[in-house]
Amino acid sequence: MSLKLENINRTVNGEVYLKDINLTLEPGRLNVLLGRTLSGKTSLLRLIAGLDKPDSGKVFSRDQDVTGLSVQKRNVGMVYQQFINYPNLTVYDNIASPLKLAKVDKATIDRQVRDIAERLSISQFLSRFPLELSGGQQQRTALARALVKDADVVLLDEPLANLDYKLRESLRADLRDLFTQRNSVVVYATTEAQEALALGGHSVLLHEGQVLQSGPTAEQFRQPVNLNSANLFSEPPLNTLMGIKQGGELRLAGLPAVVTLSEHLKALPDGEYLFAWRPTDASLVAKSEHDIELLLDVDVAEISASESFIHTHYRVGQSTENHSWVWQIQGVHNLPNDDKIRLHLSSQKLFVFAADGKCVASPQSKLSELSILGDECG
Amino acid sequence: MAEIVLNNLAHSYLPNPESEQEFALRELTHRWKQGGAYALLGPSGCGKSTLLNIISGLLQPSQGQVLFDGNEVNELSPKERNIAQVFQFPVVYGGMTVFDNLAFPLRNIKAPKAQIKQKVQEVAELMELTDVLKKKANNLSADQKQKISMARGLVREDVSAILFDEPLTVIDPHLKWKLRRKLKQIHEQLNITMLYVTHDQLEAATFADEIAVMYQGKIVQFGTPQSLFEKPNHTFVGYFIGSPGMNFIPVSWEQGECRFGNQTVTLTEQQEAALNATPSTNLKIGIRPEFVQLATSQERIEHSLQAECIHIEDYGTYSLATLMLDEHKIIMRVEEGERIAIGHVSIHFPNESLKLYIDEYLAGEVVSE
Amino acid sequence: MNKTPNNKAWWLVLPVFLLVAFSALIPLMTVVNYSVQDIFDQNTAYFVGIEWYQEILQDERLRESLFRQFGFSFAVLAIEIPLGIFVALTMPKQGWQASVSLILLALPLLIPWNVVGTIWQVFARGDIGLFGWGLNSLGVDYNYTANSVDAWLTVLLMDVWHWTSLVALLCYSGLRAIPEAYYQAAQIDRASSWSIFRYIQMPKLKGVLVIAVLLRFMDSFMIYTEPFVLTGGGPGSSTTFLSQTLAQMAIGQFDLGPAAAFSLIYFLIVLLLSWLFFTTITHMDKDKS
């Protein structure tokens, strides 16, 4: 069964929470809602759950109109950022509670509880109380409770946000495997691009209550529709610079050299555009003679074990226009402040955005072959 | 401003701890230099917050000494230690305006009005709070409130140290960036000892010059982010630092050969010497996913290992491949442009990145200056 | 503007409206009805307009009793609120000591009003009462039945004994709700104990204090049973408070018209003062923009 949202709108106190949402969420894969705080992720989840009603539009489940149906009448499981369990019930009774409510017989309850506990590796804690467990185990209990009743729809609202990142890593992998084996429609809201990519599946990019784009996650990453969706996948954000494309030439603001056009830029109509690189696209050594070379002032360099985040600024020619750029470079590069750094950027990696923010060209990916191979095995 | 030294410090929340397990903090001696930016990194429950509260004086240690610039401060209250601390969740004095909040620590030490005003303006500017100075702190968003908490920690110039207890927990991911950078800049400007507690390796590594990794109440390694990454002292550090963590494979040492399953690994002389010297059978080799290489060149093929790639995850600019090396699952990071496919692969562990662990501790390294 | 999608929800509030109508509005309207008529018997009633209101506003006895009432309520608040806060601050925070002090504090609240009056009537007597006898044997000339100042203080003391617990318990629960991190932060900001009280505890207590002040004000302003039992309003009329004057008027003299007019004024005073107090407090929180 799939879940379909048609022309959903919701406004509260004059503030637009959701606008013209059209989505189909399929079972058997993870549907990731990626967006910043207040982008409408939670509003959308609440609406799918039946906790809120849309002002207009319809929600279909199994091709049946369920708009306005209360949450009690839908078979929904929900997991929140906070670890919500019944503190006075054991882990076993917590997991069993939705089944008891559904009046399932005892033997079946026992079998299902033990089964899901096994799969979430909390079997050894069944007789304990939630508050005696670690955060990760508490959240596993909440997950088990949401999963045990075989809900039609399982909603997860940043379920890993309150866990430390190592736990996140392991739970993420567990979740991915757990959900792809189910018939439920699973919707997972997150603010983190890394998490969306790690979970794989399909992503819906939300921004200010609107869907920017949706589809397989890795594809969304490579083909953003506009600057907002590119930035949703980039932490820190993309580094941008205005430039003019004319004939076979490209001039970037303040750069003396004319940039040789790479294949993906050749079809671009002449005009002024916003050009952008991902922070990971810079290299300390020239990889080709066509590389663009930039001499930047270093504000501060942050070292993160295997890579360095180099905060730089770039002044366009003699003007006051000043860009703050952050680059993420593999390896440790401990640069003193106010130093200069020479970076090499390939024009092949350029994203191009039109005046209205729409992405008109994105770099051809060398990884596309790889992702197809990856999908086959999943 | 002060150098902080911990001398045989230990702490248990129980009145009469019997076993080592009952100590939240096991005996440790440590020194943080004046003016450094340090991080305490570890999973929840590792004792890092306990340690922080002992340093600030909110908690009395069961044993040992805390020294500021060589003077014991065990008996001194937080007030007398002259320390600033920023907590995980925002603490604002609700009834006051943001200005009054920032001025609070200065008014408590009866600083002159003009100085208060100037200092508050300066810090507000730094933390981008100038626009809200006249507002009541209660009516602001969580991350604004946390900025106020942080700014309050920064207004006093005379403090011995500033302690941060997971200060970015409530901050939105895309704002964390800015604040972390702010803290780093502030540290460079003020030259005050700063201690930052977190479970996030990225926060720790980007903020601190040196990181103390804590595990089960102990500091298992203290070093630069780079050294934690390249030479983890303990298997826990290898696992905890890096995302994903280091791959570990249990090995045996028989007749001068380091083996697991049907495979043989080549080790350095120092590592072989260490293996010859130990009676232990708890032996592991460790290699980071970033350092596992595809065996392409001739030299690599000679020392290659045969593996089966069973899964590939696409992270956009790179991929993580899951390989089965006999019975052992290992992760390999594949950069954009490199090619790998499901099925058989030949891989290679470069000698300089292959680490040996005896009883979970790093062994057989070349001692360098 | 907020648009209501449908109006069905209004039916849910209907029972509350009905309840309020029966319990408050209808009796109130009866009183309004009485206050503008001169009633001789069931069939004879004359509309007199605001005559009763004019009369009672001129009434010396009522005016005195009103001032007495203000004085009393003010004294009650001035003593019970700070005392209650003080008790709450000094109470143990955990362990059996906390439970014991909670039970001890709750005890006076469990005693019925008239019993409180009776207890103090005996307790304060000079011959057999521990309190009265104690004071007398210390050489203090104390007799609440004869001396109006003594009577006043006794009523006040009785009220303080009876109701300070309520304020203390409310404040105690308010104080427990302050996270430990606030105290830690204040210590680290080198705040003095006074600053901690002024900037952390007081702001957090404000909510419960508003309730405490309102409850104690309304309750003390309408005090009846205890002084009635204890002093009967005497000596003279020194402890005759508003509600007692009202009762004398309505029941004793059967002046229903003036009594009704007076009741309404009484009601309006309580309402007005409570509203004034409440709005000032809640407005203090807003930003001046």
CB pair distance less than 8 Å for A373 and B310: no
The conformational region for residue C64 under phi > 0 = left, psi -120 to 50 = alpha, else beta, is alpha
CB pair distance less than 8 Å for C188 and B83: yes
> Domain A239-377, CATH 1.10.4080.10 — does that match?
no
Show residues of chain B in contact with A218, CB under 8 Å.
Answer: 314, 316
Residue (of B138, B269, A255, B247) closest to C204 by Cα position: B138
DSSP code of residue A235: S
- Report the CATH number at residue B192: 3.40.50.300
Mark whether B194 and B115 lie in a shared domain.
yes
A112 backbone dihedrals φ, ψ, rounded to 5°: -70, -40
Q: Choose the final residue of a domain: B239, B266, B292.
A: B239
Whether the CB of C2 is below 8 Å from some CB of chain A: the reply is: yes
pLDDT at C7: 67
Assembly ipTM: 0.79
Mark whether B63 and B186 lie in a shared domain.
yes
CA distance B75 to chain A (A): 33
**Residues B264, B356: Cα–Cα separation, whole Å:** 14
pLDDT digits (tens, 9 = 90+) for A68-87: 888 777 888 888 888 888 88
CB atoms within 10 A of CB C282: 12
List residues of chain A with CB under 8 Å from any CB of chain C: 12-14, 53, 55
**Residues B320, B317: Cα–Cα separation, whole Å:** 10
- B166-193 mean pLDDT: 80
Sequence letter at residue A226:
N
Mark whether B195 and B295 lie in a shared domain.
no
The conformational region for residue B320 under phi > 0 = left, psi -120 to 50 = alpha, else beta, is beta
* A contact test, residue of C1, C3, C4, C6 with most A CBs within 10 A: C3
The interface residues of chain C toward chain B in range 125-184, judged by CB-CB distance below 8 A, are: 179, 181-182, 184
Show residues of chain C in contact with A13, CB under 8 Å.
Answer: 2
CB pair distance less than 8 Å for B108 and C192: yes
Q: Choose the final residue of a domain: B206, B239, B272.
A: B239
Give domain status of residue B369, yes or no.
no
**Residues A144, A136: Cα–Cα separation, whole Å:** 12
Half-sphere exposure of A187 (CA within 13 A, CB side): 27
CB pair distance less than 8 Å for C2 and A55: no
Ranges A282-286, B14-18, B114-118, B203-207: which has the least confidence: B14-18
C130 backbone dihedrals φ, ψ, rounded to 5°: -60, -45
How many H helices and E strands in chain A? 10, 20
CA-to-CA dists, residue B138 to A115, C113, C286, angstroms: 47, 41, 9
**Of A14, A53, A55, which has the smallest distance from its Cβ to C1's Cβ?**
A14
pLDDT band at C286 (very low <50, low <70, confident <90, very high): low
**Residues A234, A236: Cα–Cα separation, whole Å:** 6
Q: Choose the final residue of a domain: B239, B260, B275.
A: B239
DSSP code of residue C68: H
Interface partners of chain C (CB pairs < 8 Å, 3 or more) are A, B
CB atoms within 10 A of CB C114: 13
Give domain status of residue B289, yes or no.
yes
Q: Residues in chain A, how many?
A: 378
Ranges A27-41, A166-180, B344-358: which has the least confidence: A166-180
pLDDT digits (tens, 9 = 90+) for A46-65: 999 888 889 999 999 888 88
C149 backbone dihedrals φ, ψ, rounded to 5°: -60, -45
- A288-292 mean pLDDT: 80
Whether the CB of B238 is below 8 Å from some CB of chain A: the reply is: no
For residue B144, pLDDT beyond 90: no
For residue A357, pLDDT beyond 90: no
Widest CA span of chain C, in angstroms? 77
Q: CB–CB of A183/A1 below 8 Å?
A: yes
Q: What is the dihedral of CA C28, C30, C33, C38, to 10 degrees?
A: -130
Give domain status of residue B368, yes or no.
no
Q: What is the mean pLDDT of chain A?
A: 85
Helix, strand or coil for residue C248? Answer: helix
- A170-192 mean pLDDT: 85
Which CATH architecture is the domain A3-226 placed in?
3-Layer(aba) Sandwich (3.40)
Show residues of chain B in contact with C187, CB under 8 Å.
Answer: 58, 77-79
pLDDT band at B234 (very low <50, low <70, confident <90, very high): very high
Show residues of chain B in contact with A331, CB under 8 Å.
Answer: none
pLDDT band at C2 (very low <50, low <70, confident <90, very high): very low
| Cβ partners under 8 Å of residue B276, min gap 6 | B253
- A130-159 mean pLDDT: 87
| Cβ partners under 8 Å of residue C75, min gap 6 | C156
Q: Where are the domains of chain A?
A: 3-226, 239-377
Widest CA span of chain A, in angstroms? 79
Instruction: Transcribe A351-367 into DSSP letters.
Output: EEE-TTSBEEE-PPPSS
pLDDT band at A373 (very low <50, low <70, confident <90, very high): very low
Mark whether B185 and B275 lie in a shared domain.
no
Q: What's the token pair of residue A131?
A: 């508050």
pLDDT digits (tens, 9 = 90+) for C240-253: 788 888 777 777 67
What class, spelled out in words, does domain C65-283 have in CATH?
A: mainly alpha
CB atoms within 10 A of CB A282: 24
| Cβ partners under 8 Å of residue A192, min gap 6 | A235, B173
Instruction: Transcribe B95-157 into DSSP letters.
Output: TSBHHHHHHHHHHHTT--HHHHHHHHHHHHHHTT-GGGTTSBGGGS-HHHHHHHHHHHHHS-T
pLDDT band at C254 (very low <50, low <70, confident <90, very high): low
Mark whether B230 and B285 lie in a shared domain.
no
Show residues of chain C in contact with B88, CB under 8 Å.
Answer: 181
pLDDT digits (tens, 9 = 90+) for B303-332: 788 899 998 888 888 889 999 998 899 999
Q: CB–CB of A309/A328 below 8 Å?
A: yes
Helix, strand or coil for residue B92? Answer: coil
Query: What is the residue range of B59's domain?
Result: 4-239
**Residues A185, A165: Cα–Cα separation, whole Å:** 26
Mark whether B71 and B194 lie in a shared domain.
yes
Surface-to-core class of residue B255, CB atoms within 10 Å of its CB (0-12 exposed, 13-18 middle, 19+ buried): exposed
Mark whether B106 and B220 lie in a shared domain.
yes
pLDDT at C151: 83
pLDDT band at C182 (very low <50, low <70, confident <90, very high): confident
pLDDT digits (tens, 9 = 90+) for C82-91: 999 999 999 8
Domain count within chain B: 2
